[in-house]
Amino acid sequence: MSSRLNPQPLEWIDRSEQITFTLEGKSYKAFKGDCVTSALLASGRQLLGRSFKYHRPRGVLSLANHDVNALFQSESHPNLRGDVTQVTEGLTLRPCNVQGSLDHDRDSWIGHLSRFMPVGFYYKAFHKPRRLFPVWEKLIRRKAGLGEVNTQWTVERQPKSYVYADLLVIGGGASGMQAALSAAQAGLDVVLVDENPHLGGSLDYQLVNETAAAGHRERLKSAVHQNPGIRVLCSTLACGWYTDHYLPLLTPTGIIKLRSRAVIHAGGVMEQPAVFRHNDLPGVMLASAAQRLISRYAIKPGKRAVVLTANDEGYRAALDLQTAGVELVAVIDMGALSSRGEWARKLVDLGVPVWQQSCVYEACGATRLEQVVLAPWHQGECDLSRTETLACDLLLMSTGWSSAAQLVYQAGGKLSYQPGLEQLLPSHLPDGIFVCGRLNGAYTLEQRLADARAAAEEAVAWLAGTPISRDLAACRDDQPHSHPWPIVEHPKGKNFIDFDEDLQLRDLIHAMQEGFDNIELLKRFSTVGMGPSQGKHANMNAIRVLARYQGVSIDAAGSTTARPFFHPVPVAALAGRRFRPQRLTALHQQHQQSGAQFMEAGVWLRPEYYGPAEQRRSSIQAEVQAVREALGIIDVSTLGKIEVMGPDAARLLDCAYTMKMSTLAVGMTRYALMVDDSGVIVDDGIVGRICDDRFYVTATTSHADATFKQLSKLIQCAGLNVRLVNRTGSLAAINLAGPHSRRVLQSLTDIDLDDAVFPYLGMREGQLCGYPVRLIRVGFVGELGYEIHLPHSAAVTVWQALMQAGSSVGIRPFGVEAQRILRLEKGHLIVGQDTDGLTNPYEAGMAWAVPLKSKVWFTGKPSLALLQSRCQRRLVGLRLAPGTPQDQVKECHLIMAAEAMVGRVTSVAFSPSLGVVIALAMLDLPLADTAEQVEIQVDDGQRIQAQLTSLPFYDPDGARQRVNLEEVA
Amino acid sequence: MTQLNFERLADWQGWIMTGPDSTSALTGAGLPVPDGPLSALQADAAIVARTGRDEFMVFMPSGGSAPVGEWCFQRHDTIFRLSGADWLAVMAQLCQFDFRQMRPGDWQMLAVAGINCWLYAPADRPDTLLLGCDPGFSAYLAHTFEAVINDVGQTSVDRGDV
Amino acid sequence: MKLLDCPVIGARPISEFDYMGEVRVPPFEADEAAWSDYVFNRNGAPGVLREWWYHRPSGRWYVLMRDTLTDRVVGHVDLAEVRYELPS
């Protein structure tokens, strides 16, 4: 039984291409361009889905992307909307939320229990006894729900792109096309979007049989397509509005992030259902849904039709049914025929009976519409003494419209109720937002086109910086197109307000009786408007119910803002392409060849250690040992490196760092500690003096950019004559450390490394392997060592030369992990690991780095002057008993005194040099001064004894980093 | 089908110079001195950009005459050249900047694919963009560009013409 | 995402900038209360503030006047106007 009509003039289907798909294992035929709903209707299937809560049979409602009771599950996607999802060859579907089959849903009995499930019962039932809640939860989740996510998904990311325009026009109907054209003709660069696959809007379904509209349709479409100033995006939904006119456009291939200078919203209206008993039966649908079925898909929506109307559009729809060969049983007009126009007269001329001042009291049928009961209707009351019953299989509802103004709300616009049109219409618009068309109450084609031109003119003027004020109501119709109260009470209920959530009129009334008498409370308690269609067909009626039962105006009842996105957006579209910058040093490939295991250090990748993963521990120990006994080499290119130059360079560094840099001798370096205004440690590094007015500064890997920023800000604030150059990325840096470092390095450089001329903390410039380098004699890891700062392009050559030269003494590259152990043995802290967002230098045991008396000023000085005598905790060294398992104590484990937390471990490692586990810990005072041992609480709750010990653990006199191997030995 | 070309200009060199003597370092090397902040001038293949009050960056193919100055440092930016009629579609996926504003000869400093870059539109080559970044990001940026270029042309938009 | 309408380099995504707070001069000679107020308290009252913005890709500083009520940039301040003398 096919209900496919002869070809329609503007149909979206391509009859030359047939498609086969399956639903519940049954095969269906369709044409290319069919949506799932139209294809099923073509085959005679009217029951398309089951409702969320009561598993009631549901069919077509809007055919406008709000039909969330006809949801389908494909192999890859849940919750496909039948009214907009195009069928493809081989598509395999099953219904959502059905036990058994669509026709025989084993859960359909739930509807009979509806009176035991009043509104809000989820909040009240099932909570006692508490132990049974999981049982109920499982049951409810199985009985009520939507599609299932395929957890065996394949990664799908749709690229996002940025697009810019002068003007975005939302909606490709008559108003949108005219607005886009007028704006483009004025020279604007316009993007025009429409969620449908074709432009045309209501011209192509509601006015398809209007000869007067045909000329406008052709003129607008061809002019829009030919205008080079208009970029048309169909199948594209502007799904949210963000500050500065930033709108995500959801396209079939991903999200476009549009930045527009202004927006004209011509998104039209959403038809609203009438509320009466069984208004959800398959066969009951919005009038515009039937018109879409006929004109887009050539589907005859029924055989015998009744049209319920409260406006002219209902008569237009009735005429369209008649043209499509549907028998018209009657038109039921909730108002008077005398206030209707030309379409009504045509219909009367055809001899179709019109019941004036009447309403549908109920629709009847088991799983589809069989008859309607109508009754006289006066001032919101049915006269049940004079009901009539009409047999039919199709009932159209044409009782009102609501502006698709979600984005206007999001942008901060306001809508207020216009009694003349019985509709909420824009009353205040924020800067750069303009509206036109039916969304703005312009209903006739002439009104719409005039309104669109006016809106375009307004947008053009605003963008030109010469805003004009326009009367938003100038082009609005003077006739209502919506009924103020299209809601019919029924003692047995099932008169649905919200089809998503199965909310009946009485559910809202009960919610108000329970005190949820404000739109925001009503919404949350009853869940009206909170289903997948996000209130598109429910909110207006809910507001009418609230206003009437509370005895307030529609404006006073208020409305809710549909948050972005006001329509579901696939996660794949949101995910987009992954931008995860990864920064590699010049020596990255070198490390790979040496078998490095990498770790992330901010955006950098750094070698954690060298060797197979299963030999992690022994590799790290061997690396530590190589540095202590022979020679180690580490890539420290990630350090921040800044050139500081100019007459005020010393002054800048004096202000930026705690220690005095102006007294630094040329060719020497000094430890540099940076604190913020509150005295908290933020960075450390070294400052070296190249000449009187030039310094070289290093910063920690993670703070390099922030330190550069801080220095440059100080220059601006104080108007200092200093120049900075950030050379972090342009220079590589290598630390060569170990007793043999001097001998090996000397063989490759012209710089004299003799201790007498190049002392500890010295800095020299010269050549190494033919490259210009800067050498700094450092002691971070506690051995004789040199930091080599060299051009990025020289790094590989120099590294290889050093490896070659050091091979005879057993040189070994070492990674971040070995470096952490080496510095821990020396008691050197790592900013950000051993310090936190509150640690000051006194707590870190670095009072020596805070010359309060000798410096007039540095950033944070007043705070440190106050904190000096108020120290509450201090970093201490801990040593665990020999034989304690290596991984038992971890960083961040707490130090306990009885039941009180008195500190935490900040760094811990097994020290190969000492043969025991050592740690740094932040410990409360006075314990840090007085205790000899403390208890560390480890993962399993056990407490481990640790001995307080003086720092550093290794080579306390620092002899090894200052002198020759020969001298140490 | 898109005509897009993305290549690394491996033989280019770069410098940054700052301080009151920077302009004489430029003129000494026969290079022009751009006037406004964040503007650039091109002389033969060399690009000179003014990035601060008296701070300049210079990039040129190797072999050119290098600027010399006390406060002049070699940079090691990785420089890529993106060319082809669809270059805008590629940048649209990577960079939140309205490239309709970019004119030949313009210099921009902005974030591309999440990292700081400089961009220069050569005055003498239409549909071409030079792009420089920290050498540490060259692998990431090359990989990202290749992926996007691969996609551009495969994605299309529904213009509703049919 | 918001745009920052910088009067010098034009409208740029705000993600390219670091916000570095209101322009303030440290009270170099302050007592403890005044210093603590400087360190820990910020003026949250709506109005036009002069604020530091750092454009990361170019490494340049801007002082912009922003109306914190409307969140609009209403002007640009020459850096010379916000300078102060460091104690020496």
In this complex, the residue of C9, C13, C57 whose CB is nearest that of residue B116 is: C57
Alpha-carbon distance of A67 to A225, in angstroms, equals: 30
- What pLDDT was estimated at residue C1? 65
Q: Determine the Cα angle at B123 with ends B119 and B127, to 5°.
A: 70
- The residue among B87 and A154 whose pLDDT is bigger is B87
Residue of C29, C86, C88 for testing the chain A interface, max A β-carbons within 10 Å? C86
Please report the ipTM that was assigned to this predicted complex. Answer: 0.97
Q: What is the mean pLDDT of each run of 10 residues along chain B (162 residues)?
A: 81 95 94 93 94 95 89 96 91 92 93 96 91 96 93 58 41
- Grouping H, G, I as helix, E, B as strand and the rest as coil, residue A939 is coil
pLDDT, tens digit, 9 for 90 and up, residues A824-878: 999 999 999 999 999 999 999 999 999 999 999 999 999 999 999 999 999 999 9
Q: What is the largest CA-CA distance in chain A?
A: 119
Going by pLDDT thresholds of 50, 70 and 90, the confidence category of residue A1 is very low
- Measure C18 CA to nearest chain B CA, in Å: 13
B58 alpha-carbon distance from chain centroid: 11
- Measure C87 CA to nearest chain A CA, in Å: 6
- On the question of pLDDT at A886 being above 70, the answer is yes
- On the question of pLDDT at A126 being above 80, the answer is no
Please answer yes or no on whether C87 and A651 come within 8 Å at the CB atom: no
Q: Is A602 on the interface with B (CB under 8 A)?
A: no
Please answer yes or no on whether B116 and C56 come within 8 Å at the CB atom: yes
Report, as an integer, the average pLDDT of A894-903. Answer: 95
Please answer yes or no on whether C61 and A259 come within 8 Å at the CB atom: no
DSSP letter string, chain C? --EEEETTTEEEEGGGEEEEEE-----TT--HHHHHHHHH----SSSEEEEEEEETTTTEEEEEEEETTTTEEEEEE-GGGG--PPP-
- Grouping H, G, I as helix, E, B as strand and the rest as coil, residue A304 is strand
Please answer yes or no on whether B38 and C58 come within 8 Å at the CB atom: yes
Structural domains present in chain A: 14-124 (3.10.20.440), 161-270+403-463 (3.50.50.60), 274-399 (3.50.50.60), 495-559 (1.10.10.1100), 581-638+730-826 (3.30.1360.120), 640-727 (3.30.70.1400), 872-959 (2.40.30.110)
- The residue among A101 and A463 whose pLDDT is bigger is A463
Alpha-carbon distance of A718 to A699, in angstroms, equals: 22
pLDDT, tens digit, 9 for 90 and up, residues A582-613: 999 999 999 999 999 999 999 999 999 999 99
- What pLDDT was estimated at residue A136? 77
CB neighbours of residue A433 within 10 Å: 22
First to last CA, chain C: 43
- What pLDDT was estimated at residue A688? 97
Chain A residue numbers touching B93 (CB-CB < 8 A): 159-162, 577
Report, as an integer, the average pLDDT of A742-769. Answer: 96
Percent of chain A scoring above 90 in pLDDT: 86
Q: Chain-wide mean pLDDT for chain A?
A: 94
Q: Beta partners for B43?
A: B46
pLDDT, tens digit, 9 for 90 and up, residues A211-237: 989 999 999 999 999 999 999 999 999
The CATH architecture of the domain made up of B77-159 is 2-Layer Sandwich (3.30)
Return the sign of the alpha-carbon dihedral for residues A296, A301, A306, A310. Answer: negative
Q: Is B111 on the interface with C (CB under 8 A)?
A: yes
Residue of A158, A162, A691 for testing the chain B interface, max B β-carbons within 10 Å? A162
DSSP label at residue A818 = H
Going by pLDDT thresholds of 50, 70 and 90, the confidence category of residue A393 is very high
Chain C partners (3+ C-beta pairs within 8 A)? A, B
Give residues 119 to 138 of B whose Cβ lies within 8 Å of A: 134-137
Query: Scanning every residue of chain C, which has its alpha carbon at the shortest distance from the alpha carbon of B134?
Result: C57
Chain B residue numbers touching A172 (CB-CB < 8 A): 160
Q: Beta partners for A763?
A: A776
Q: Determine the Cα angle at A839 with ends A834 and A844, to 5°.
A: 60
Please answer yes or no on whether A579 and B55 come within 8 Å at the CB atom: no
pLDDT, tens digit, 9 for 90 and up, residues A170-227: 999 999 999 999 999 999 999 999 999 999 999 999 999 999 899 999 999 999 999 9
Residue of C2, C5, C14, C16 for testing the chain B interface, max B β-carbons within 10 Å? C16
Residue of B13, B76, B78, B109 for testing the chain A interface, max A β-carbons within 10 Å? B76
| Residue A722: C-alpha distances to residues A326, B20, B71, C77 (Å) | 86, 11, 12, 21
Please answer yes or no on whether B111 and C56 come within 8 Å at the CB atom: yes
Chain C residue numbers touching B57 (CB-CB < 8 A): none
- Residue at B121: amino acid letter: A
Number of A:C CB contacts under 8 A? Answer: 55
User: Lowest-confidence range among A569-573, A725-729, B55-59?
Assistant: A569-573
pLDDT, tens digit, 9 for 90 and up, residues A707-726: 999 999 999 999 999 999 99
pLDDT, tens digit, 9 for 90 and up, residues C7-53: 888 888 999 999 999 999 999 998 999 999 999 999 889 999 999 99
The answer to whether residues A953 and A912 touch, using CB atoms and an 8 Å cutoff, is no
Q: Which of A489, A486, A493 is nearest to A538 (CA)?
A: A486
- What pLDDT was estimated at residue C11? 87
Report, as an integer, the average pLDDT of A784-810. Answer: 97
- What pLDDT was estimated at residue B153? 63
Cβ within 8 Å of residue A372, ≥6 positions away: A306, A332, A360, A362, A363, A364, A389, A390, A392, A395
- Measure C28 CA to nearest chain A CA, in Å: 8
Helix axes A312-323, A287-297, angle to 10 degrees: 40
Please answer yes or no on whether B117 and C57 come within 8 Å at the CB atom: yes
Alpha-carbon distance of A910 to B82, in angstroms, equals: 51
Please answer yes or no on whether C86 and A242 come within 8 Å at the CB atom: no
- What pLDDT was estimated at residue A965? 41
- On the question of pLDDT at A505 being above 70, the answer is yes
Structural domains present in chain C: 3-82 (3.30.2270.10)
- Measure A883 CA to nearest chain B CA, in Å: 43
Q: Which of A565, A570, A575 is nearest to A76 (CA)?
A: A570
- The residue among A777 and A1 whose pLDDT is bigger is A777
Q: Beta partners for B109?
A: B118
Please answer yes or no on whether B16 and A581 come within 8 Å at the CB atom: no
Q: Is B97 on the interface with C (CB under 8 A)?
A: yes
The answer to whether residues A395 and A305 touch, using CB atoms and an 8 Å cutoff, is yes
Domain range summary for chain B, segments of one domain joined by +: 12-75, 77-159
- What pLDDT was estimated at residue A144? 66
pLDDT, tens digit, 9 for 90 and up, residues A47-94: 999 998 889 999 999 999 999 999 999 988 889 999 999 999 999 999
Query: Scanning every residue of chain C, which has its alpha carbon at the shortest distance from the alpha carbon of A856?
Result: C88
CB neighbours of residue A117 within 10 Å: 16
In this complex, the residue of C1, C8, C16 whose CB is nearest that of residue B110 is: C16
Chain B residue numbers touching A248 (CB-CB < 8 A): none
